Structure 1
Amino acid sequence: MAYQVTDLMSDVIALVEQRWVGSAEIWNLVNAMELASMERKISFFRELHKLIRHIPIDVFNDEEQRQNLIQAVQKALDEAIDLEEEEMWDDELD
């Protein structure tokens, strides 16, 4: 069955509830969505970053937990941009 909007919201809530989140958990989320291109993954990470920043601070246990999640999404975004740049370099060399 395809990944649904309700799946996304459940996964985002699960991320918010975790004390420590790394970029691997963020990548698991985007991989579950089966986005084909790196461009789409980057767009998703950007929108997820905006979404997380708009979640009220009171939802988190503390500011550190919130910052950890924001940083994990930012790291995943940075990694995706690096991968896209590598793909562009590889295409130019071929």
Structure 2
Amino acid sequence: MEAKIPLEKLGQFEAIFRGRQKTIWSNSPLKSESWSSDINNYLRRNIDNLIQGIKLAQDTIASLTQLLKITEPLETLYDLERLQPAVAHILDAPSRI
């Protein structure tokens, strides 16, 4: 029963799936031209950099929550912005402490 409604809604896109109705992507250059290996390599490197950045951010958040004994999860940009003054204070503190 629950699957019936999404399947009925999917039917409204039949003309697109069968190519009888144009979409904004119909004339996309990505569809008609293959990507060069240079573009593919460039995108792959940047996606890999993004993945590494996300992992680094996750590791940093885990370390900070442990260091600062934070019990609430840090999940949003707002949560991180609230944490920024504490991090700035730690960085400004003399290293001898």
Scaled by the length of structure 1, the TM-score of the pair is: 0.37
> Which structure dedicates a bigger proportion of its chain to helix?
1
Structure with bigger gyration radius: 2
Higher relative contact order (CA 8 A, sep 6+): 1
Scaled by the length of structure 2, the TM-score of the pair is: 0.36
